[in-house]
Chain A
Amino acid sequence: MAARVVQTFSGWRTMSCELDGAASAVAVSRDGSQVVVAGRNILKVFAIEEEAFVEKVNLRVGRRTSVNYSCSDVAWHQLDDNLLATAATNGAVVTWNLSRSSRNKQELLFAEHKRTVNKVCFHQAELHTLLSGSQDGSMKCFDLRRKDSVCTFNGQSESVRDVQFSPRDYFAFAASFENGNVQLWDLRRSDRCERMFTAHNGPVFSCDWHPEDRGWLATGGRDKMVKVWDMASARPRELFCVQTIASVARVKWRPERRYHLATCSMMVDHTINVWDVRRPFIPFAAFEEHRDVTTGIAWRLPHDPHLLLSGAKDCTLFQHIFKDAKRPADRANPEALCFGPRGDVAFAAKEGLSANDPARRALPGDRRNPFFFIRKAPEPYDASLTQQHSGSVCSVLNVFQRCDAKEKLNPLENESESFVELAQRYCLAGRPFAELCDHNARIAMELCRHQVAQTWLILKLLYAGGDASPSPALLPNGGIFCGKDGSSGLGGDGMSERGKSEGHGDGGLEEPNEETEGSDVENLTASVGLYAAAAGLYSGNGEEERLELLDQDTTTSDFPEFSLPPEAFALRHEIVDGPAGLEHLQTNGPDGPGSGDEDGTDEGMRSACQGKVGGSTAGLGITAAESVSLISVSQPLFGQTLPPEVFAPAVIAMLEFYAERGDVQSTVSTLIVLGEKASGGVDTLVQEHWYLSYLELLQRFRLWDVATQVIRLSTCAAISALNHDSTSLNLNCSSCRRALGAKGWLCDRCRRCASVCAVCHHAVKGLFVWCQGCSHGGHLKHMHDWLSASPHCPTGCGHLCEYT
């Protein structure tokens, strides 16, 4: 027998047939060869063939469609293949005999219930005992040998939704009620129930005894829960609770699978779910074939867990094969992964996946399927750095400490830490260019960002003319050195990058180089002079004025050699140059050395760039004024025999290279430090994008001050405009609480300074913090100290200040 089932099972498939009307219940014959579908407008028996359902009998015969046939439930006797019972919505209970030869198979009709009969149930062992449960609140036991009920059980509560004979106890049956109660009755005692308990919040639509674990009763209710009760114990004990997403219409234990339970819901959800009650949140399997609410489910054979029959409101009858079921639990993602902004990785994994790991072994016996949540910082390469890293995780580490030494050089490991470090320690302005480069290079080096460090040094070399102590011996090939080094260093290891920059660099270098060698001596002297000039410019001394003029002469002498062909320009330059140079110095003078020098160099660079653009497009295109400003500035780098266009492409390629690698920090930082020296060559929109990306990152790391500084220093109009957005604050006077006008710190009414510190009673300059509730505030530190001791406002106004 069992062998046959297995054999036939392989041939079964999911199949369906259309019904004349919506089904409300299905029942299977004992041998699983036939199924009956009952509904308001349908009552049919189908034979289940291998390929399809074949209609055998239509029990609704005759023209007069009696309300007695409008079925809410149907039951098929498990001892007699010909005996059926239906429950009618008008309160009738009808039995049918399929062996009758006439078309009308109706056998008995019990019209005793006043209202809809929700459920009929045959006794498993008694051929003649039928139980019904009705909306009128009563249950009736019928003896099919008699014409009326044997006894009536009054639940003393609301409507009966389900009745089920216990497979364990010959005389016992369970009944579930609309008020959430479940009652346990003895057939022999009709006066009162044996037991009653509240199983659900709201109606209990269905209950089902476990076929093997005999004390177990599953109940399903409108509260979207399925509960499993141990009825064998003295008090019914809740063993499991499954939470579904919709109110539960039917529950049915799966044969041969101790913990499996099939459910269908009353609304919303059209699927039939099979749950493993030990895993109460996610269905073990789901059948999603129905297009409307499933109303009846029945396992086809009492010992075959693979075949499920179902009828639904969508007027279809289905046979489901378990292997075709969806497995939501398997579809579910067992892992979670998140790359945190600080470079840490959050990773949660299913416990079972790493059972071989002794640190995370599964706990047997825990029915909850323990899952652990694992967080780790994947790349702590340097203990000191990870300790500095204030955010999250990092404890003593794992396998990465064992990694080879090369790993330590890999800066990607602690990218976020070094990002923050660099952002905070980079110096972007306020000092001479060369110093900025030096400083930044040193910091990059400290953080093992060798390539970035190198970039800074090269930039310094390119634009500020090398080290502070250039030995003359180095100078002749300085140009070559710069160019070569620049291109390879900047291009880094990117093949394409290198190719590009080298292409630019070499092309640009060739001509000047030849000439450089030709006029070595001249250049030497010139460059020495230029260094002096540079020093003068940086120190901002008035005395250097003469020097500058002096070296302007020298530059004019060698400029024509390679970049400015027409002599006419040289002549004109002499005329206009002087005032221009003076103008520079005059404006710079009062500003003090630092800032003045910056302006000077920057402006010089800008004009240099203009000159460069003009010069490269067409020699003739250079206007007098431009050429003049070009020469008047006379930056050291020009003296270095290298016009800016030689390495500008390389620098731009370098910026793009870093940006492409996601290191906008390097891009933007160098961009800022270079200022106008480089920005001319890059599309403003691209620059803007770089700035925005960097700002976004800074804000993510809460480096607001750095972000503000970057905005302030940016050469992009659109970026600097960011700081002009929503900058107005509306203030209240702290004493009279009137809104302050445009005057700011002085209150019109009480003639007092509005920004007095509530703690030290001095006017606050600098950071002023105040409570938005009571307008009182003061020095940031004072307020912080005060509020760490007391939640009340220091003025004594009684307000519970809130600072966020």
Chain B
Amino acid sequence: MVSVVNTVDTSHEDMIHDAQMDYYGTRLATCSSDRSVKIFDIKNGSQILAADLRGHEGPVWQVAWAHPMFGNVLASCSYDRKVIIWKEEGGTWDRLYEYDGHDSSVNSVSWASHEFGLLLACGSSDGSISVLSCLGDGTWEPHKISNAHTIGCNAVSWAPAVIPGTLMDAPSGPKSTPVKRFVSGGCDNLIKIWREEDGQWAEEKKMEAHSDWVRDVAWAPSIGLPSGTIASCSQDGRVFIWTCDDPAGGSWTPKLLHKFGDVVWHVSWSITGNILAVSGGDNKVSLWKESTDGQWKCVSDVNKGQGISSGPDETRPEQ
């Protein structure tokens, strides 16, 4: 069987619901049912507890790191219907902002690309999604999308800010603002793409493929060509990869990555967006890569260890 690499007792007293590495991969934030958020320094192969953030009054479902250009900023969301944005100043973490505009558990938080400033999307069990934006003077402005998903929203993920050429006009010409978009998945089995128009959020696309709750959605980082890719996973055990080659974002086509035997809880992209990690209810993590003929293949399976080579690419023995 599998030998565990590194088992660290995080001293969380209950289940861990999320773990996120920061931008540089040197810090790890975990959150748990025990209402706490913990931050570990994972430099030099060791894990040191750097902070223990207490403030939520219910299980903390998710955490999200903001881009380091804003300092060390972490958002957390909880069953207590609150979203707390934490900031580290001089080694201590303090609440920067607390949002309590939801009527039910807040399940997911996600920071937008840093080009948009501090902009956070929060999906809640009350079916709504809030978009919190930090204004220049340090105040926060919430925008609420009501009835985004009936029964509840489970996951949100921002699209990368890809509008090539935005830097071209700077600093003289008028800056063309990239479109703000994010994707959400909910208990109505739907995946929806939202887009900001004139300061208002509107549903741009509704995508249906899953037959049960959508548990996680992840918009792939755009490295290389600016075509959109979204991964989604669901209670029904299926993982879909959605792609959109149309720059206007009009048409998305799903491709079934795999049907797992159990709930799939998470999907996570590598920073280059070419490998997808999937974790399922069977406690397995598998890594998937698109082979060059467009098929998604499992390149390694952490639990089973039946690593399958990703195919013939790169093995060409040309010398």
Contact residues of A with B, CB < 8 Å?
Answer: 224, 243-245, 268, 279, 281-282, 328, 332-350, 353-354, 357-360, 368-369, 371-379, 390-400, 402-404, 406-407, 409-412, 415, 449-451, 454, 489, 492-495, 497, 656, 658-664, 667, 684-686, 688-690, 692-693, 697, 700-702, 717-719, 721-722
Q: How far is the CA of A667 from the CA of B61 in the complex (A)?
A: 39
Q: Are A379 and B300 in contact (CB under 8 A)?
A: yes
Q: Is B277 part of the binding interface, using a Cβ–Cβ cutoff of 8 Å?
A: yes
Q: Are B5 and A374 in contact (CB under 8 A)?
A: yes
Q: How far is the CA of A454 from the CA of B315 in the complex (A)?
A: 11
B contact residues, total (Cβ < 8 Å): 94
User: Given A371-B15, A412-B289, A700-B271, are A281 and B34 neighbors across the interface (CB < 8 Å)?
Assistant: yes
Task: From B133-141, B203-211, B306-314, give the one contacting chain A.
Answer: B306-314
Could you pull out 29 A-B pairs where Cβ atoms are within 8 angstroms? A243-B57, A328-B105, A333-B61, A333-B266, A337-B265, A338-B18, A338-B19, A339-B275, A340-B25, A347-B302, A357-B4, A358-B1, A359-B3, A375-B8, A377-B5, A379-B287, A391-B45, A394-B5, A398-B3, A399-B302, A400-B300, A450-B317, A495-B292, A662-B272, A689-B222, A692-B164, A718-B165, A721-B167, A722-B167
Give the top 7 A-B pairs by smallest Cβ distance, nearest first.
A399-B305, A659-B224, A662-B274, A376-B5, A662-B272, A689-B164, A337-B266
User: Given A339-B275, A412-B289, are A346 and B21 neighbors across the interface (CB < 8 Å)?
Assistant: yes
Q: Which residue of B lies closest to A392 (CB)?
A: B42
Q: Which residues of A contact B287 (CB under 8 A)?
A: 345, 378-379
Minimum distance in angstroms from A345 CB to a CB of chain B: 5
Q: Is B279 part of the binding interface, using a Cβ–Cβ cutoff of 8 Å?
A: yes
Q: Are B273 and A335 in contact (CB under 8 A)?
A: no
Q: Are B6 and A333 in contact (CB under 8 A)?
A: no
Minimum distance in angstroms from B63 CB to a CB of chain A: 9
Q: Which residues of A contact B313 (CB under 8 A)?
A: 451, 492-493
Q: Are A449 and B45 in contact (CB under 8 A)?
A: no
Q: Is B20 part of the binding interface, using a Cβ–Cβ cutoff of 8 Å?
A: yes
Q: Which residues of A contact B170 (CB under 8 A)?
A: 718, 721
Which of B7, B265, B318 is close to A335, meaning CB atoms less than 8 Å apart?
B265
Q: How far is the CA of A407 from the CA of B300 in the complex (A)?
A: 9
Most buried by B among A357, A397, A662, A686: A662
Most buried by A among B18, B25, B282, B304: B25
Q: How far is the CA of A721 from the CA of B172 in the complex (A)?
A: 12
Q: How far is the CA of A281 from the CA of B42 in the complex (A)?
A: 27
Q: Which residues of B contact A663 (CB under 8 A)?
A: 224, 272, 274
Q: Which residue of A lies closest to B270 (CB)?
A: A339
Minimum distance in angstroms from A266 CB to a CB of chain B: 14
Q: Which residues of B contact A701 (CB under 8 A)?
A: 24
Q: Are A689 and B162 in contact (CB under 8 A)?
A: yes
Q: Are A489 and B318 in contact (CB under 8 A)?
A: yes
Minimum distance in angstroms from B17 CB to a CB of chain A: 5
Most buried by B among A343, A371, A697: A371
The A-contacting residues of B in range 16-34, CB under 8 angstroms, are 16-21, 23-26, 28, 30, 32-34
Which of B14, B23, B289 is close to A369, meaning CB atoms less than 8 Å apart?
B14
Q: How far is the CA of A722 from the CA of B271 in the complex (A)?
A: 22
Q: How far is the CA of A494 from the CA of B271 in the complex (A)?
A: 22
Q: Which residues of A contact B7 (CB under 8 A)?
A: 359-360, 372-374
The A-contacting residues of B in range 238-265, CB under 8 angstroms, are 265
Minimum distance in angstroms from A391 CB to a CB of chain B: 6
Q: Which residue of A lies closest to B82 (CB)?
A: A245
Q: Is B96 part of the binding interface, using a Cβ–Cβ cutoff of 8 Å?
A: no
- 1/0 per residue, CB under 8 A from A, across B49-80: the answer is 00000000111010000000000000000011
Q: Are A415 and B272 in contact (CB under 8 A)?
A: yes
Which of A340, A489, A686 is close to B164, meaning CB atoms less than 8 Å apart?
A686
Q: How far is the CA of A328 from the CA of B42 in the complex (A)?
A: 31
Which of A343, A345, A410, A685 is close to B302, meaning CB atoms less than 8 Å apart?
A345
Minimum distance in angstroms from B111 CB to a CB of chain A: 14
Q: How far is the CA of A450 from the CA of B317 in the complex (A)?
A: 8
Q: Are B302 and A341 in contact (CB under 8 A)?
A: no
